Chains A and B, each alone.
Chain A
Amino acid sequence: MNTHIVLSAINISADYILDSKRGLYLNAIDNVSIDFRSDEVIGIAGESGSGKSTLVKILYGAAFPPLIIRKGKVYLFTKDNSKIDITSITREELRKNIWWKHISYIPQNAMNVLNPVKKVKDQFIEVFKYHDERIDAKETITKIKELFMRLGLPIEALNAYPHQLSGGMRQRVVIALSLLFNPRIVIADEPTTAVDVVTQLGILNLLKDWQRNSKTTLIMVSHDMSVHAYMDDRIVVMYAGNVVEVGSKNDIFENPMHPYTKLLIASLIKKGEKKLKTGIAGEPPNLLNPPPGCRFHPRCPFAMDICRREAPPIVELSDGKVVRCWLYARK
């Protein structure tokens, strides 16, 4: 396939400052590198506190205090193949030229992100204004209507206030907003938490159809492995601020390498299963004071001596598979 890298995170480490005077930092992201390619759905999986939401904030260029980037770069490759470092350009530059035009964002909790006192239509028109897109009112409305038709949204929703729409509908309006300027990358942060299974399926299909037709990059953040099974081409598995494994969807589900991924996949309850399953013992570590060595070692059944002392290396295997574990390190 003729795809190319559109976004590249290189050796990112980031902390939340809790109390700078006492030197209290929460190390949310530890040495993470990922390439995102055109025409793919790439999932970021992980449990709460694994750093997946923090990571996409950094990718989007929205690392506001108390979150600070200690190390690393995020490069965005534009159409003419020039390279922009998202971590070092100004807010104004990001706001005006990058956000929504190159890369847009579907936030967590998307049902509650619309301004309650403005009609849906006006919330679309506002986005044109933010980016100084000067087209006349009629043209704007035609453009929004086209988008609604393409996404199968009812046109009447344009004249409604957000609270008059159902939760699922608001979520679809937010998706439509994010696609307004045909961005090349869309980050969807838990786009379907808090919606019903039936609505969830509809929303995921909306995103999937759009991605397949436009051959763009969709970054899906979710804690729900069944969402990843349905949507993704590739999956990035995060644990306690580390990327522990990257692989194709089938590799992750059928041939997981990292002990955490193995246990996670084994603990999932599939439809129609009654057989007793086991979860992962213990609890995720406290990132104020992460365990030395591999951050998974206290819960890992395969933990060795070296796991308790040294952070594992990033091991690249064949077919773009990456795993961060001593078990696969060649010495």
Chain B
Amino acid sequence: MQGNENSLKVESVSKYYGYGLLGLKKFKVLDKISLGIPLKPPTIFAIVGETGSGKTTLLRIILRMIKPDEGVVKYKGLDVFKLPRNAVSWYRKEVQPIFQDPYESFNPLRRVDSYIFDAAKRMAKVDKGSIEEYVDGILRYVGLSLDRVHGKYPHEFSGGELQRIAIARAIAARPTLILADEPVSMLDASLRVNVLNLFKKIRDDLGTSIIYVTHDLATAYYIADQIAVLYRGSLVELGSIDKVYENPRHPYTQLLLTSILEPDPKISEKIKPLKLSTIELKEFLAQGCKFAYRCPYASKKCFEKEPPNVTINGVIVKCHLYEKS
């Protein structure tokens, strides 16, 4: 065991997918990603990227659903893919997922309360006598109650309620880390804030770290402490969210920040449009910087050489612009 024991560490993880005729040609959906998520103090860590940025693949790797082709994931100093057999169920309890579509994460023929009872019994090892009280307490914590949920099936709930039940199921296991994959993107705006507030509460009251995967920078800023920005499988900027937000250095982060639409007509009028890209695969295969094709500052070097990771003021930026010559 080594390093910071109270963190989840992703160390130069790469994952390849095939494409083309027969899928013989390979491209990297994740390209040497390294990041660390502190478990103490509890942190909300946002992973931001567009579709195809590799954020969901990264999440699946952390959840042990798929194996990386290169690199390791270490949880509290242990290699997640080389855990002894008895530690696998421990890891499954420690790290809990929450998925995008709550209707797809519950079996439509199974009562939803049974999921929370299962998590309480099998993972948190709550004893029989106090289990109902425990489950009710957790449901009340997310704004529901056992009376309301008892004996009901997924279709009897709205999307917002079901997502809160999914959160209840996750925290019933008493995890140290929650992985939430676009947990609010299917919810209506007026309910979204409630769920995001719940995540803040979980971090502060329960001391659980949360990885919040999203394409929405505004909500990321609203709840997160740290941020990692992914573009076409490579990590372009990583650091404290305040610093990245106030002073985005990577041209892609800058573009992302200026293209977000605002629910505010005054700011909306200032947004400048931008040419659209049709070159996704080409970008994945790029030798140098994957953003070079769309970058206003791109030079010849950007197309040829992979940019270095430069640390400025505690923020890691993968860009030739900030290279010390």
Contacts and interface: CB of A to CB of B under 8 A. Distances in A.
A–B contact (CB under 8 angstroms): yes
Interface residues of B, number: 44
B263 A268 contact: yes
Interface in B234-262: 245, 255-257, 259-262
Contact of A166 (B192, B264, B274, B278): B278
Contacts of A277: 193, 197, 222
Nearest to B276: A202
A166 B280 contact: yes
Interface in B261-283: 261-265, 267-268, 271, 273-278, 280
Interface stretch (A8-16, A136-144, A167-175, A322-330): A167-175
A201 B260 CA distance: 8
Contacts of B15: none
B197 A230 contact: no
Interface stretch (B20-28, B33-41, B72-80, B158-166): B158-166
A227 B261 contact: yes
A64 B276 CA distance: 36
Contact of B260 (A249, A264, A271): A271
B217 interface: yes
B273 A201 contact: yes
A169 B259 CA distance: 18
A112 interface: no
A33 interface: no
B206 interface: no
Contacts of A225: 189, 263
Contacts of A267: 189-190, 192-193
Interface string A261-278: 001110111111110111
B276 A199 contact: yes
Contacts of B200: 276
A52 to B, nearest CB: 12
Given A271-B221, A272-B245, A223 B189 contact: yes
Interface stretch (A22-30, A213-221, A279-287): A279-287
Given A167-B51, A226-B268, A172 B276 contact: yes
Contact of B273 (A48, A195, A202): A202
A167 B158 CA distance: 29
A65 interface: no
Interface centre among B161, B217, B271 (most CB of A within 10 A): B271
A264 B158 CA distance: 18
A167 B51 CA distance: 10
A126 interface: no
Nearest to B193: A279
A270 B274 CA distance: 21
A226 B276 contact: no
B222 A269 contact: yes
A121 B141 CA distance: 56
B191 interface: yes
A224 interface: yes
Contact of A196 (B50, B158, B196): B50
Contact of B222 (A263, A273, A284): A273
Given A226-B262, A229-B264, A279 B194 contact: yes
A197 interface: yes
Contacts of A48: 159, 188
A280 B191 contact: yes
Contacts of A268: 189, 263
A154 interface: yes
Interface in A98-150: none
B273 A272 contact: no
Contacts of A89: none
Contacts of B263: 225-226, 228-229, 253, 265, 268-270
A47 B190 contact: yes
B212 to A, nearest CB: 13
Contact of A271 (B159, B161, B218, B274): B218
A277 B184 CA distance: 15
Interface string A182-194: 0000000000001
B160 A283 contact: yes
B6 interface: no
B259 A201 contact: yes
Contacts of B188: 47-48, 223, 284
A200 interface: yes
A270 B158 contact: no
B29 to A, nearest CB: 16
Contacts of A226: 260-264, 268
Interface in B152-184: 158-161
Contacts of B189: 47, 223-225, 264, 267-268
B197 A276 contact: yes
B215 interface: yes
B309 interface: no
A197 B260 contact: yes
Interface in A204-254: 204-205, 223-230, 249-250, 253-254
Given A203-B276, A230-B261, A271-B217, 11 more contacts: A168-B278, A205-B273, A223-B188, A226-B264, A249-B265, A250-B265, A268-B263, A271-B257, A272-B245, A273-B222, A279-B190
22 contacts: A48-B188, A172-B276, A197-B50, A198-B274, A198-B276, A198-B277, A202-B273, A223-B189, A224-B261, A229-B261, A229-B262, A230-B262, A253-B264, A267-B193, A269-B196, A270-B263, A270-B267, A273-B221, A278-B197, A279-B197, A283-B161, A284-B188
In order of increasing CB-CB distance, the 9 nearest A-B pairs are A47-B188, A196-B50, A226-B261, A279-B193, A279-B194, A268-B263, A280-B190, A202-B276, A205-B273
Interface of A: 47-48, 154, 165-169, 172, 194-205, 223-230, 249-250, 253-254, 263-265, 267-274, 276-280, 283-284
